[in-house]
Each structure stands twice: as structure tokens, then as C-alpha cells.
């Protein structure tokens, strides 16, 4: 998801996120987000703002999980952060579940198999139990609250 630069800070992203939650309901469901890691590449300030946007809206980072978005259309790979948005209230999530989701993403969205070098550069390092960062201080217009 992205909002064109001239339209940012007008509540468009917040309305979009609220609409997603209204449609999906998120009763025992969750949304896994791939967010560009601000520790890599250019546009560090913008990447940090994106991470903070999702945190303000209830997303929680999967601690210690490295994720690489494979090159799209012949481009380069991108270091990402995985975040979860949901009604999920736990402080931990099973690594096998996240591995299965990542493998499906690679197969179904990127048309890559289990032997993909990008996938294999991080998938085996995912811990069996993944800690989620603390609930963020939520803004007054947040989609999800604890």
C-alpha cells in the first residue's frame, strides 16, 4: 500500500486500513505485512514513517525474522520487515506458521519454489517461536486496539 506523495498526511492511508478491517472483520484472522526495512537502502526517513504508520494502526513486528522480497520484474531483492495486524492478542507466534505463509507467498505471488536462493537465505533462520514487539502506543484514530 502506498499513498502518492502529494496526498499523504490527509488520512487516506488510515481510511484504507480501517476499510480493510471493516471488510475482513479480523475475528481470529490476521494480515501479514511486508514493510521495507529502514535499515537498508535509500529513503530511510520514508521507510521509518511507513513502519511507524503501521505500528500506530496496531501492527506488531515479528522480532528476529529476516525477510527478503525477491526481485520483481528483473529488479533487485529488498530487505523487508514482517509485521502482523489482527485481533491476535498473543506475544508470540509459531515460526512454522510464518514459514508456511512465506513459502506460499514465494510460490503463489512470486512464482518461486522451495529451492529459491533468496528464500533459502533466511527461511531456515526463522525461530520456532517468534516474539512480537510490544503493542505500540496507538493513536486516537487507530483501527485496532488491545
CA angle 40, 132, 124 (to 5 degrees): 65
Residue 26 has pLDDT above 70, yes or no: no
Question: Per the domain annotation, does 65 fall within a domain?
Answer: yes
Whole domain around residue 70: which residue ranges?
Answer: 29-131
Question: Per the domain annotation, does 136 fall within a domain?
Answer: no
Give the model's pLDDT for residue 88.
Answer: 61
Q: Which three cell numbers stand for residue 41?
A: 537502502
Whole-model pTM: value is 0.83
Question: Per the domain annotation, does 41 fall within a domain?
Answer: yes
Question: Per the domain annotation, does 12 fall within a domain?
Answer: no
Question: Per the domain annotation, does 141 fall within a domain?
Answer: no
The β-bridge partners of 84 are 32, 60
Q: Which three cell numbers stand for residue 105?
A: 507467498
30 burial type by CB count under 10 A (0-12 exposed, 13-18 middle, 19+ buried): middle
CB atoms within 10 A of CB 84: 22
Question: Per the domain annotation, does 114 fall within a domain?
Answer: yes
Question: Per the domain annotation, does 23 fall within a domain?
Answer: no
* pLDDT single digits (tens) 109-118: 999 999 999 9
What are the residues whose beta carbons fall under 8 Å from the beta carbon of 130, sequence distance 6 or more? 62, 63, 64, 65, 92, 93, 94, 95, 98
Total number of domains in the chain: 1
Q: Which residue has the cell 520514508?
A: 46
* pLDDT single digits (tens) 55-106: 988 889 999 999 999 988 778 899 999 999 876 667 899 999 999 999 999 9
Whole-number CA gyration radius for the chain: 16
Give the model's pLDDT for residue 87.
Answer: 64
Residue 142 has pLDDT above 50, yes or no: no
Question: Per the domain annotation, does 50 fall within a domain?
Answer: yes
Residue 140 has pLDDT above 50, yes or no: no
Amino acid at each position: 500500500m502506498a499513498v502518492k506523495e502529494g496526498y499523504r498526511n490527509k488520512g487516506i492511508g488510515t481510511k484504507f486500513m480501517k476499510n480493510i478491517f471493516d471488510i475482513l472483520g479480523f475475528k481470529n484472522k490476521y494480515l501479514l505485512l511486508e514493510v521495507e526495512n529502514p535499515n537498508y537502502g535509500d529513503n530511510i526517513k520514508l521507510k521509518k514513517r511507513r513502519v511507524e504508520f503501521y505500528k500506530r494502526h496496531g501492527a506488531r513486528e515479528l522480532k528476529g525474522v529476516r525477510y527478503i522480497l525477491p526481485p520483481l520484474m528483473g529488479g533487485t531483492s529488498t530487505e523487508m520487515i514482517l509485521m502482523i495486524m489482527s485481533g491476535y492478542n498473543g506475544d508470540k507466534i509459531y515460526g512454522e506458521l510464518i514459514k508456511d505463509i512465506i513459502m506460499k507467498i514465494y510460490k503463489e505471488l512470486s512464482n518461486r519454489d522451495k529451492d529459491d536462493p533468496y528464500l533459502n537465505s533466511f527461511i531456515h533462520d526463522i525461530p520456532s517461536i517468534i516474539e512480537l514487539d510490544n503493542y505500540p502506543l496507538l493513536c486516537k484514530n487507530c483501527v485496532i486496539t488491545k
